[in-house]
Amino acid sequence: MGSSHPFIAVGVGVLVALSHTTAGYSQEHNLNPVTAVNTPSPSENHSEKVDELPLTQSPMPSDSPLAGSSESSTSPRSQPSTEKPKPNSPNLQKKTRESASSSQKNKPIKSASASQRNKPTNKAKPTHKTAQANPLVPSTPSTGATPASVIPTLPITPTIPALPFQNQPIGPAKSGIPPEYLNPNPNPLSFPTRPEEVRLRGIQPITLQQALELAKRNNRDLKLATEVLQRVRASLRQAQAARYPTIGANGQISQTRSASGQLSQAAQTQAQQSLPPALRQSSNSDQQSTALNGTVQVGYDIYTSGRRPAQIRAAEQQVRSEELQVEVTLQQLQLDVSNAYYELQRADEVVRIQQSAVRNAQAILRDVVAQERAGIGTRLDVLQQQVQLANAQQSLVTALGTQQIRRRELAQILALPPYLNLAAADPVQVSGVWDMSLEQTIVTAFKNRAELEQFLAQRASAEQQKKAALASLGPTVAFNFQYNILNNLRDQLGFADGFSTSLGFQWNFFDGGAARAQASQQDANIAQAETNFAKVREQIQLQVETAYTNLGTNFLNIGTNRQAIEQAREALRLARLRFQAGVGTQTEVINTQNALTQTEGNFVTAIIDYNRALASLTRSVTNLPIPAGSTTPTLPKTVTNSIIPTGDPAPLPR
């Protein structure tokens, strides 16, 4: 026990020196190795404050670690006379040296020699100076002096423009029906022609339920599927029209003048001239006629060898197939919106984690610089931490870019106006549990999946089209009725009418093989539908098994990573204390910081992947009722899976 007193004294002395040196240095200098920040107000105390990073929902401030400043950090600062003395004042520096000297006396000879070797070779700066040069920023050496080795600045600037309006919410996040200004232009042929029309004006926070409602209302793919359904329904009405007779009417009025009649009348008149007047006959008949003619006809195919009902049933199956396609599009749209929303939440959490990593790296850099100034640290430690901070800032810039991409992807799915951006309003937490076993989930998916029923409808439609093609080789019986009226308007005799009735029979014995070729095409369509049915059935089973496995594994990972986060935070705190006391290494601090960042990312990944697996299972068992205000269907109460607990995990810790 007696031999440990010198080490205790050394630790106390180091902590006292660090407390004074760190406080004075944090007031004097900017510790950001990337860019210099704006000089704060003299009345503000920045000795213990960590530089805050910009939040994802607020504009990036000018003193952000990612924002540069034209003001140099080496410029002196004027202090008011009423301000407390700084730790680098003569009195406090004297106390610091006395405390360090008293601690140094109790050190063993070996420890003192090692500490002396770790001290920088340059002399201490005079105490009468009000501001000292920042060791993190290269300074210009005086004329004739040998330039000392300086740490190069890392000119890292953000590659993502931080627009002031880009992070300002347009409206509050409210539950219920989405606001009307989120609807796109009702004219689908319009497009922006000026840059102002596509410039982002702000962010609208929405919930997942509002995103699903907007997708149903605005999504282009869903509208296309609905329009195709309307077209196929019109084709069905066209096929059903063959059940009824065709009724037509036509009429015409005509005026004729016969040239041969005029020649015959002229010859007759000439012959009459040679006869005595008593025998002559009058020939004043008019060779022109004006007739009014009208006809009404009725036709109906009495027998078509099954072609007419086959065509109608084929059209009905096509309508059913397109109705199922609309359902498939809607269910897939809900899954895509859910996945896009969860990916946006993931991007938001990654930004938050990287911001925390940058803040931790800045705080550790303060400790490293303070130890270097106290003579117990090395320039290598400062360089390593500068690189660590630069890497954290680069990861933050990348995370901000990914966040912006995820926002635009969700906006594209929802077909929002080009000047609006979105943000996730729901917290990152487990969205629910799955109460069905794996086997029952697979069976329920086989029964309810619209894709399987769609292939059955396509197969039935091909069978009916095959019957219609072969029916063209059979006999057909048709009935026709015609009624007409006629009136010669020059003879004043009035109307005359008449009618005709016919029963026709037709049978094509040979058509060159065209009908049987059409039937062979439909046989191929039937086989294709059956193969697609088996293929999709296997895919559905694999999707359910994959989602079910991911659901269980990610649920277990949530609990594991929640505990690991607390352990990683405590490990980082202890590593920093050990490093400040001089018994730890910079490598330990860097490793624990990286472990904390990775653990937080793993925790977010586990929750997001769990929610995505739950959304995939919900997509697998369609046609189940979904209550109002919920995103998951009401599942029948069955044997609960023993792997998946029934309770919801706690929300993501902030």
Residue 309, pLDDT > 90, answer: yes
Q: What's the whole-number mean pLDDT along residues 184-198? A: 82
**pLDDT at site 622:** 74
Adjacency order of strands within the sheet including 246-257: 246-257, 288-303, 475-488, 495-507
Q: What's the whole-number mean pLDDT along residues 313-327? A: 93
For the ranges 13-17, 316-320, 364-368, which has the lowest average pLDDT? Answer: 13-17
Domain chopping of the chain, boundaries: 2-71+84-118
**pLDDT at site 377:** 84
Residue with tokens 């999946």: 449
Comparing 383 with 621, which gets the higher pLDDT? Answer: 383
SS3 at position 482 = strand
For the ranges 94-98, 126-130, 337-341, 554-558, which has the lowest average pLDDT? Answer: 126-130
Comparing 287 with 524, which gets the higher pLDDT? Answer: 524
Q: What's the whole-number mean pLDDT along residues 455-464? A: 94
Per-residue pLDDT tens digits for 566-602: 999 999 999 989 888 888 888 888 899 889 988 988 9
Residue 58, pLDDT > 90, answer: no
Residue 363, pLDDT > 60, answer: yes
Question: Which amino acid appears at position 437 of this protein?
Answer: S
pLDDT-derived band at 420, boundaries 50, 70, 90: confident
Q: How far, in Å, CA of 510 to CA of 474, rounded?
A: 10
Residue 383, pLDDT > 90, answer: yes
**pLDDT at site 174:** 63
With beta carbons less than 8 A apart as the criterion, state whether 609 and 585 touch. no
Torsion, CA 197, CA 337, CA 398, CA 64, rounded to 10: 70
Per-residue pLDDT tens digits for 153-164: 334 344 444 444
Residue 229, pLDDT > 90, answer: yes
Burial of 305 (0-12, 13-18, 19+ CB in 10 A): middle
Displacement of CA 545 from its chain's centroid (Å): 24
With beta carbons less than 8 A apart as the criterion, state whether 617 and 434 touch. yes
| DSSP 8-state code for residue 82 | T
Torsion, CA 344, CA 345, CA 347, CA 349, rounded to 10: 170
Residue 469, pLDDT > 70, answer: yes
**pLDDT at site 406:** 94
Query: CA geometry: angle at 82 spanning 81 and 85, to 5°?
Result: 85
In the chain, % of residues over pLDDT 90? 42
| DSSP 8-state code for residue 424 | E
Per-residue pLDDT tens digits for 268-287: 777 777 777 766 666 555 56
| DSSP 8-state code for residue 48 | S
Strands 475-488 and 288-303 turn out to be antiparallel
Q: How far is CA 374 from CA 20, 139, 256, in A?
A: 10, 20, 124
**pLDDT at site 172:** 57
List the one residue out of 416, 412, 422 whose CA is nearest residue 181: 416
**pLDDT at site 275:** 72
Comparing 24 with 531, which gets the higher pLDDT? Answer: 531
Displacement of CA 588 from its chain's centroid (Å): 39
Number of C-beta neighbours around residue 354 at 10 A: 23
Comparing 462 with 491, which gets the higher pLDDT? Answer: 462
For residues 94-123, one letter each, b for 16 or more C-beta atoms within 10 angstroms of the residue's C-beta and e for the rest, the string is eebeebbeebbebbeeeeeeebeebeeeee
For residues 147-165, one letter each, b for 16 or more C-beta atoms within 10 angstroms of the residue's C-beta and e for the rest, the string is eeeeeebbebebebeeeee
Q: How far, in Å, CA of 537 to CA of 445, rounded?
A: 9
Q: How far, in Å, CA of 160 to CA of 171, rounded?
A: 24
Q: How far, in Å, CA of 413 to CA of 333, rounded?
A: 8
With beta carbons less than 8 A apart as the criterion, state whether 216 and 338 touch. no
User: Mean pLDDT highest for which of 133-142, 623-632, 634-643?
Assistant: 623-632
